[in-house]
Chains A and B, each alone.
Chain A
Amino acid sequence: MNFFFKSKQKGPVELVKATHDAMARADTTGEQQRTKANDEISRNVASMLQILRDGGADKKVPDTTSEQVAQLAQEIYTTELLPLLIGNLARLEFETRKEVSIIFGILLRRKIGSREPTIDYLVSRKNVLAALVCGYASPDAAIFCGNMLRECFKHESLAKATLSLPEFFNFFAYVEGDNFDVISDAFTSFRDALTKFKAPAVAFLTDNYDSFFAQYAVLLRSDNYVVRRQSLKLLGEILLEHKNFHVMMAYIKQGDNLKMTMNALNDKSKSIQYEAFHIFKIFVANPTKTYDVHNILYKNKDKLVKFLSDFQNDKNSDEQFRDEKVYLVREIKRLGAPKPE
C-alpha cells in the first residue's frame, strides 16, 4: 500500500473524478495498467461508501446527512458515475461490485425532506436502469445488478420506468440463459417488475400485449424445467390478478393459449401440471368462450373429463383444489357443440 497516498484523504469531488479517470485507464491494453486502475477504482469506491456511512446516509432515517454526503451524491449524479460503474461492473473486484450495489442502495433511500433525489435522477436518466437490466448479460455482474434492480422495484416510479424500457424485453433472453444463478435472479426481477406495482404492470401488459405474450409463449415451451415451471406459475399470477382482468380476457380468447395450457397439463412433471391446472380452469370458467376455445374443449370433452377425474388425486385433501376439479368436470360435461361465430 502506498502510505503517502493513504494519508491524503480525497474529498468527494476528487474521489469521483479519480474513479472516472481510473475507469478510462482501465480500458487500456496493458495488463499491469489495468490492474492498477482497477485497484484504484476499488479503493475509491470503498472510500465513497465510507463517506456515506460516516455521514449517516446508511441509517434507517437518512435525514441528517453530512455535507460530504450531499456533495458526493451530487457529484455521482452529475458526472454520470452510476451508469459507468454499472456498465463496467463485471470487470471490478467482487467486493467492489458489492460495494457499488450498497452505495446504490444507500443513494436510492436518500431523502431530502420529501424529495428522493436519486429516484428523480433515475427516472430522468433511464440509461442507469437500462444498464442494470443489461447487467444480466454478464454472469459476474448479474446478481449485483439484480440486487440494485430489485431495490428500484420497491418504488413504483422506477418499476414503471423500467417497464417502459425497450431493454425490458431482454429479460426474455436472460431468464432462459444458460447459467442457473443468472436465470434465477433474472426471473425474480422479471416477476417483481410484473407483479409488484399493479398500475404500471397493467399498463405495460395492455400496451404490449401481443409482443409480450408472443415472447412469453417461448418461455412456456422452454426445455429448462425451472423456466417452464416458473413461467407457468407467473402466468397464473398475472392472469388471476384482479387488475389484469382485460389482459386475462384477451389471453383466454386464444385457442393457441389453451393448447399450450393443455399440453402443460399433460406434462410428465406433476408440478408443471399443477401450475397449468390453475390456468386451464380460467379457460373453462369463462362464460363467454370464443369458438376456438369452446371447440378445443368440446373436441376433448371425454378425455378431459376422464383426465380431470384422475388428476392429482393425492392433493384432494385440499378442498379448494378438489372443488375446482369437480366444478371443471361439471362445466366440461355441460359443453354442447360450439356455434360458429
Chain B
Amino acid sequence: MANTNQNPNELFTKQEKIGRGSFGEVFKGVENRTKRQVAIKIIDLESAEDEIEDIQQEIFILSQLDNPSVTKYYGSYLDGSKLWIVMEFCGGGSCADLMKPGRVSETYIAIILREMLLGLNYLHHENKIHRDIKAANILLTTQGHVKLADFGVSGQITATLTRKNTFVGTPFWMAPEVIKQSGYDYKADIWSLGITAIELAKGQPPHAELHPMKVLFVIPKNEPPELGAEFSKIFQEFVSLCLKKDPKQRPTAEQLLKHKFIRTAKRTEHLTDLVKRWQSWKKTAPESRSSKPEADRGLQGGDDQVSWDFGSVRQALPNTSQRPAGAAPLVPVAGRQQAQQQHQLHSSTSMAATNTTMSSVSSSNLSALPAPPPIGSGHGNRSRSGSTASNASASGGGLGLGMGAGNRVPSGFAGSGIPPPSPGMQQRHINNSSPVNAANARSNLGPGFGSSTPPPLPGSRPSSSHQSSHSPSSSRMPQAKVGSGPQQASQRATPAGANSSSNGRQSSPEDLYHNVLMPTLVRLEKLTSNSQAKAAYCTLAETIRRLEHEIPGFADVFSKELTLSVNKFYQTWRE
C-alpha cells in the first residue's frame, strides 16, 4: 500500500471513535479507494508526552509483522502534527467485549487460546515480545478470526540483548519477573496468556479486587493463581503450566500448542457464536451503552484525572484504585450493566474496533489519583533527558556536561553549562579553558578542542558523575551542583509523600508506594541522564528505605538488583 505523504483526510473517511489505544485515540474508518474498513489510531505528536521515537518504534514493529494472527498494519500518514496509524479493522470486538454478555465456556476459550498461541508463536519466533497480553488486546473479526493487537509496548529482543529490562504491561497480567524487573523474555507473554485464560473463564483476572499497585506486591510474593476446581482438569493443567513462577519452567507457545486442551479445540468459525452473542447483546442492552460524554471530556481535560503510565500503556485505572487498599473491596453489584463495568475496569480499549460503549464507560471509571509528585530536579521533560544521556554518558567524558543538572549545554563554554552565575563564569573559563581557547583560536577551531578534552570516563554511569566531582579538572561550581541535585530530590521525596496523604497525617506506606515509588520507577525507565537518574535513584532509595522500615522485607519484593543499585548509588552520593 503506497502511503504517500498526502493528507490522510483525503485517503480515508474517519468515522466514529471506537476507543483508546496506547498513544492515542482509535477511530473506525473507510479507505476511500478500496472502500475497506480500517481502524485509525490518531496521535497528536505535538501533545503526545511520548517521544516521536517511541511511536516510531511501535510502527516499526508493526510494519515487520505479517501474520493472520496479528492485526495487519496498513501504513502511517502525517497530517500536520497528527499521525494516523491505519490498521486492520476487527469488527468482532475484543475478547473483553465478548465476555460482557456472560461467561464464555471452555469450548470457546480453548479456541481463543489456540489462536492466541499461534500469534504468540509467530511473534516469539520473530524475536518479539508482546508484553501486554490480555483479553482487551485480543480482537476478533466478524468471521471469528483471532488477532493479537496493540503493540504499543512490544519489545524487540535482539540477538545481543535477549532479555528486556523494562517495566511495561498491565499489572494484573504481569509476570512476576516483569514486576521484579529482573530481566525477562518472551516467557512473560506465556504468563499473561495464563492470566488471560483465567480472565476469560472467570470474567476477570486474579486479584481483580485489589489496587493495581498492590497487585505488584502480590504477584511476585504469592503462589501462582489457579483456575479453580469448577473447570475441567485439562484446562486447569493448561493454566498451571502457563503460570509457573519460574519462566524457565513455563512451556513455549509452540509446546503449548501441543497441549491436549489446545489440540482438541474446535474450529475457529465457532467463535462467530460469541461475536453474534455480543452483537445482539449490544442491541438489546441500550442502557448499558449509556455513555457519558462529559466523562470523555474530563479525560482530555485531564487536570484532576491522571492515568498511570506504565511505559506506554494508556490505561484507565480501575475504580478500585481510588480507595486505599485497606478499604473494603469493590462492592459487588448486581445487574448486567454493573457486570459490564466490572469488565471495563480492566480493559483498556485497544487499537481496533470494538464499540463505542467501551471507551466511554471505562473513562467514567477513571480514577482520580493524585498526580505523581515531582521527583527531583530536571524532570520537566523527558526529551531532554534522553538527549543528555547521549551527551553525558557516551561522549567519553562529558563529565562537566552531564553532571550539572542534566543539561544540554555547550561543553566548551562552561564545562558545567548554563546558567553560570557571573562570578563563577570567569573561574570556569580558567578552569575549563575552552572559551578562552576558543577566543584565541577563532579562525581555526583546533587548539581549543584539545585543551578542553575531558578526563577519561569513569566506569559505571551513576557513580561517574560523582567521581567527576573529585576530578581536579572540573570546576567548583559543578561540584556544588552535583551535591545539591540529589539532595533536593531526596528532601522532596518526603514532603511529596506527605502531601499525598490526607489531612497531613504521616504518609502511609501505601501513599509512599503509590505516589512516590511507583511513579519514580516508571519514570526511571525513561531517564537516562546522570543527574535525572540520580535524583530518581535518591527518591527511590529514600522511599524504599522508609518502606522497608514499615514493612520489613519490602525491598525483597523489588529485585535485588534494583535495591543494590539504589543502595550503591545512595552510598556514592553520601560520600
Binding site for B on A (CB under 8 A): 58, 60, 94-95, 98, 105-106, 109, 139, 143, 154, 177-181, 184-185, 188, 195-196, 198, 224-226, 229-230, 233, 236-237, 239-243, 245-246, 248-250, 269-271, 274, 278, 281-282, 285-288, 315-321, 323-324, 326-328, 330
Interface-central residue, B81, B379, B398, B452, by most chain A CB under 10 Å: B81
Distance (whole angstroms) from the CB of B462 to the closest CB of chain A: 19
Instruction: Tell whether, in the assembled complex, residue A246 and residue B387 are in contact, meaning their CB atoms are under 8 Å apart.
Output: no
Instruction: Tell whether, in the assembled complex, residue B438 and residue A288 are in contact, meaning their CB atoms are under 8 Å apart.
Output: yes
Instruction: Tell whether, in the assembled complex, residue B75 and residue A180 are in contact, meaning their CB atoms are under 8 Å apart.
Output: yes
State which residues 23-79 of B face A: CB under 8 Å. Answer: 45-46, 52-53, 56, 59-60, 63-64, 66, 75-78
Distance (whole angstroms) from the CB of B151 to the closest CB of chain A: 14
Residue in A249, A278, A288, A317 whose CB lies within 8 Å of B384? A278
Instruction: Tell whether, in the assembled complex, residue B435 and residue A287 are in contact, meaning their CB atoms are under 8 Å apart.
Output: yes
Distance (whole angstroms) from the CB of A126 to the closest CB of chain B: 24
For the complex, give the distance between the alpha carbons of A143 and B156 in Å.
Answer: 14
Contacts of B434 in A (CB 8 A): 245
Distance (whole angstroms) from the CB of A330 to the closest CB of chain B: 8
Distance (whole angstroms) from the CB of A118 to the closest CB of chain B: 14
Instruction: Tell whether, in the assembled complex, residue A320 and residue B63 are in contact, meaning their CB atoms are under 8 Å apart.
Output: no
Instruction: Tell whether, in the assembled complex, residue B438 and residue A180 are in contact, meaning their CB atoms are under 8 Å apart.
Output: no
For the complex, give the distance between the alpha carbons of A185 and B66 in Å.
Answer: 18
Distance (whole angstroms) from the CB of A105 to the closest CB of chain B: 7
State which residues 1-37 of B face A: CB under 8 Å. Answer: 2-6
For the complex, give the distance between the alpha carbons of A188 and B75 in Å.
Answer: 18
Find the B residue at minimum CB distance from A144. B64
Instruction: Tell whether, in the assembled complex, residue B78 and residue A180 are in contact, meaning their CB atoms are under 8 Å apart.
Output: yes
Instruction: Tell whether, in the assembled complex, residue B412 and residue A245 are in contact, meaning their CB atoms are under 8 Å apart.
Output: yes
Chain B 411-444, CB within 8 Å of chain A: the 1/0 string? 1111000111010000001000011001100100
For the complex, give the distance between the alpha carbons of A327 and B407 in Å.
Answer: 13
Contacts of A269 in B (CB 8 A): 46, 81
Contacts of B420 in A (CB 8 A): 327
* A-B pairs, 7 with minimum CB distance: A318-B380, A327-B419, A246-B445, A178-B5, A242-B411, A180-B76, A184-B56
For the complex, give the distance between the alpha carbons of A229 and B53 in Å.
Answer: 11
Residue in B5, B379, B383, B418 whose CB lies within 8 Å of A180? B5
Instruction: Tell whether, in the assembled complex, residue B159 and residue A58 are in contact, meaning their CB atoms are under 8 Å apart.
Output: yes
For the complex, give the distance between the alpha carbons of A178 and B5 in Å.
Answer: 5
Considering only CB atoms and an 8 Å cut-off, how many residues of chain B contact the other chain?
Answer: 69
| Contact A225 to B45, CB < 8 A, known contacts A237-B390, A241-B395, A285-B410 | yes
Distance (whole angstroms) from the CB of A276 to the closest CB of chain B: 12
| Contact A181 to B76, CB < 8 A, known contacts A315-B380, A320-B378, A326-B419 | yes
Find the B residue at minimum CB distance from A277. B408
Instruction: Tell whether, in the assembled complex, residue B409 and residue A285 are in contact, meaning their CB atoms are under 8 Å apart.
Output: yes
Residue in A242, A281, A321, A324 whose CB lies within 8 Å of B395? A242
Given pairs A242-B454, A318-B380, 4 additional interface contacts (CB within 8 A): A179-B75, A240-B410, A288-B442, A323-B419
Residue in B394, B422, B452 whose CB lies within 8 Å of A198? B394
**Any chain A CB within 8 A of the CB of B83?**
yes
**Any chain A CB within 8 A of the CB of B155?**
no
Residue in A248, A270, A281, A317 whose CB lies within 8 Å of B412? A248
Contacts of B543 in A (CB 8 A): none
Residue in A94, A224, A241, A270 whose CB lies within 8 Å of B391? A241
Instruction: Tell whether, in the assembled complex, residue B78 and residue A226 are in contact, meaning their CB atoms are under 8 Å apart.
Output: yes
**Any chain A CB within 8 A of the CB of B194?**
no
**Any chain A CB within 8 A of the CB of B456?**
no
For the complex, give the distance between the alpha carbons of A321 and B383 in Å.
Answer: 12
**Any chain A CB within 8 A of the CB of B504?**
no
Instruction: Tell whether, in the assembled complex, residue A319 and residue B377 are in contact, meaning their CB atoms are under 8 Å apart.
Output: yes
Instruction: Tell whether, in the assembled complex, residue B413 and residue A188 are in contact, meaning their CB atoms are under 8 Å apart.
Output: no
Binding site for A on B (CB under 8 A): 2-6, 45-46, 52-53, 56, 59-60, 63-64, 66, 75-78, 80-81, 83, 159-160, 162, 374, 377-381, 383-384, 387, 390-391, 394-398, 401, 404-414, 418-420, 422, 429, 434-435, 438-439, 442, 445-446, 448-449, 452, 454
Contacts of A185 in B (CB 8 A): 56, 60
Find the B residue at minimum CB distance from A185. B60
Contacts of A319 in B (CB 8 A): 377-378, 380, 405
For the complex, give the distance between the alpha carbons of A245 and B387 in Å.
Answer: 16
Distance (whole angstroms) from the CB of B455 to the closest CB of chain A: 12
Instruction: Tell whether, in the assembled complex, residue A321 and residue B56 are in contact, meaning their CB atoms are under 8 Å apart.
Output: no
Instruction: Tell whether, in the assembled complex, residue A179 and residue B81 are in contact, meaning their CB atoms are under 8 Å apart.
Output: no
Instruction: Tell whether, in the assembled complex, residue A249 and residue B412 are in contact, meaning their CB atoms are under 8 Å apart.
Output: yes
Cross-chain pairs A/B with CB under 8 angstroms, 26 sampled:
A60-B159, A60-B160, A105-B159, A139-B3, A143-B60, A143-B63, A143-B64, A178-B4, A178-B6, A179-B3, A180-B76, A180-B77, A184-B76, A237-B390, A242-B395, A242-B398, A242-B411, A246-B448, A248-B412, A278-B408, A285-B410, A286-B435, A288-B438, A319-B378, A320-B384, A327-B418
Find the A residue at minimum CB distance from B85. A180
| Contact A318 to B394, CB < 8 A, known contacts A180-B77, A240-B409 | no
Contacts of B59 in A (CB 8 A): 180-181, 184
| Contact A245 to B377, CB < 8 A, known contacts A180-B3, A269-B46 | no
Contacts of A233 in B (CB 8 A): 383, 387
For the complex, give the distance between the alpha carbons of A270 and B160 in Å.
Answer: 38
Instruction: Tell whether, in the assembled complex, residue A321 and residue B380 are in contact, meaning their CB atoms are under 8 Å apart.
Output: yes
For the complex, give the distance between the alpha carbons of A109 and B160 in Å.
Answer: 9
Contacts of A285 in B (CB 8 A): 409-410, 413-414, 418
Find the B residue at minimum CB distance from A147. B64
Contacts of A225 in B (CB 8 A): 45-46, 78, 80-81
Instruction: Tell whether, in the assembled complex, residue B53 and residue A188 are in contact, meaning their CB atoms are under 8 Å apart.
Output: yes
Distance (whole angstroms) from the CB of A199 to the closest CB of chain B: 9
Distance (whole angstroms) from the CB of A153 to the closest CB of chain B: 13
For the complex, give the distance between the alpha carbons of A177 and B4 in Å.
Answer: 9
Distance (whole angstroms) from the CB of A119 to the closest CB of chain B: 14
Residue in A58, A180, A230 whose CB lies within 8 Å of B83? A180
Instruction: Tell whether, in the assembled complex, residue A245 and residue B452 are in contact, meaning their CB atoms are under 8 Å apart.
Output: yes
For the complex, give the distance between the alpha carbons of A246 and B411 in Å.
Answer: 11
| Contact A243 to B381, CB < 8 A, known contacts A224-B5, A225-B80, A281-B418 | no
For the complex, give the distance between the alpha carbons of A323 and B417 in Å.
Answer: 11
Residue in A95, A154, A179, A271 whose CB lies within 8 Å of B46? A271
Instruction: Tell whether, in the assembled complex, residue A179 and residue B5 are in contact, meaning their CB atoms are under 8 Å apart.
Output: yes
Distance (whole angstroms) from the CB of B389 to the closest CB of chain A: 10
Instruction: Tell whether, in the assembled complex, residue A315 and residue B381 are in contact, meaning their CB atoms are under 8 Å apart.
Output: yes
Find the A residue at minimum CB distance from B6. A178
Contacts of B159 in A (CB 8 A): 58, 60, 105-106, 109
Find the B residue at minimum CB distance from A178. B5
| Contact A236 to B448, CB < 8 A, known contacts A184-B59, A287-B413 | no
Distance (whole angstroms) from the CB of A170 to the closest CB of chain B: 18
Interface-central residue, B390, B397, B439, by most chain A CB under 10 Å: B390
For the complex, give the distance between the alpha carbons of A317 and B63 in Å.
Answer: 38
Residue in A105, A143, A320, A326 whose CB lies within 8 Å of B377? A320
Distance (whole angstroms) from the CB of A138 to the closest CB of chain B: 12
For the complex, give the distance between the alpha carbons of A106 and B159 in Å.
Answer: 9
For the complex, give the distance between the alpha carbons of A60 and B78 in Å.
Answer: 39
Distance (whole angstroms) from the CB of B560 to the closest CB of chain A: 24
Distance (whole angstroms) from the CB of A111 to the closest CB of chain B: 13
Instruction: Tell whether, in the assembled complex, residue A318 and residue B418 are in contact, meaning their CB atoms are under 8 Å apart.
Output: no
Contacts of A178 in B (CB 8 A): 4-6
Distance (whole angstroms) from the CB of A180 to the closest CB of chain B: 4
Residue in A143, A240, A286 whose CB lies within 8 Å of B408? A240
Distance (whole angstroms) from the CB of B22 to the closest CB of chain A: 17
| Contact A179 to B377, CB < 8 A, known contacts A240-B409, A269-B46 | no
Instruction: Tell whether, in the assembled complex, residue A324 and residue B407 are in contact, meaning their CB atoms are under 8 Å apart.
Output: yes
Instruction: Tell whether, in the assembled complex, residue A139 and residue B413 are in contact, meaning their CB atoms are under 8 Å apart.
Output: no
Contacts of A330 in B (CB 8 A): 419, 422
Contacts of B397 in A (CB 8 A): 242
Contacts of A195 in B (CB 8 A): 390, 394
Contacts of B3 in A (CB 8 A): 139, 179-181
Contacts of B81 in A (CB 8 A): 225, 269, 271
Find the A residue at minimum CB distance from B126. A98
